[in-house]
Amino acid sequence: MRLPDEPDIPAQINIVPMIDVIFAILAFFIMSTLFLTKSESLPVNLPKASTALQNTTSLKLTLTVDKTGKMFLNKQPIQLEDLGTELTKQSKTNQELVVVLNADESIKHGQVVGIMDKLRTIPNVKFGIATKKE
């Protein structure tokens, strides 16, 4: 029971729970954006090289060879015989196409050399080999 001569207590808004909710939402968005990275290749065990470069933005296509020897062009299965026609289709006129070869370190050297030889015969195509930095 309040006496008539007591002053009214001003209304207050407690913002601490609101700040907690805002920080929880912020943490959720930060964590979810970490999983939105664009991956153009399949996971393989790359060989290590001390002169390996970091990823650049000029890369156009990724050719992946997994440990069983299967080839994938931007995650789509492809045969070595079809590689030339597919890359010719994807390249524009007078535009240089860059293909990055992601080959598992356990596949045979001869298969990698065969792929590199095929890439050299295709006009307007340059290629590089992906490695991990030591």
Burial of 20 (0-12, 13-18, 19+ CB in 10 A): exposed
How would you write the pLDDT of the chain (134 residues) with one tens digit per residue? 566 677 777 778 888 889 999 999 999 998 888 877 666 666 777 777 766 555 444 447 888 998 898 999 888 899 988 888 888 777 765 567 888 888 888 888 888 898 888 888 887 788 888 887 77
DSSP letter, residue 98: E
Residue that is written with structure tokens 């029971």 in the block:
1
Q: CA-CA distances (angstroms) from residue 86 to 61, 64, 80, 112?
A: 11, 15, 10, 18
Task: Give the three-state DSSP class for 27.
Answer: helix
Residue (of 60, 64, 12, 63) closest to 43 by Cα position? 64
Domains in the chain: ranges and CATH: 48-133 (3.30.420.270)
Quick one: CA dihedral 82, 85, 41, 45, positive or negative?
positive
Task: Give the three-state DSSP class for 32.
Answer: helix
Give the residues across from 61 on adjacent strands: 99
87, 121 contact by CB (below 8 A): no
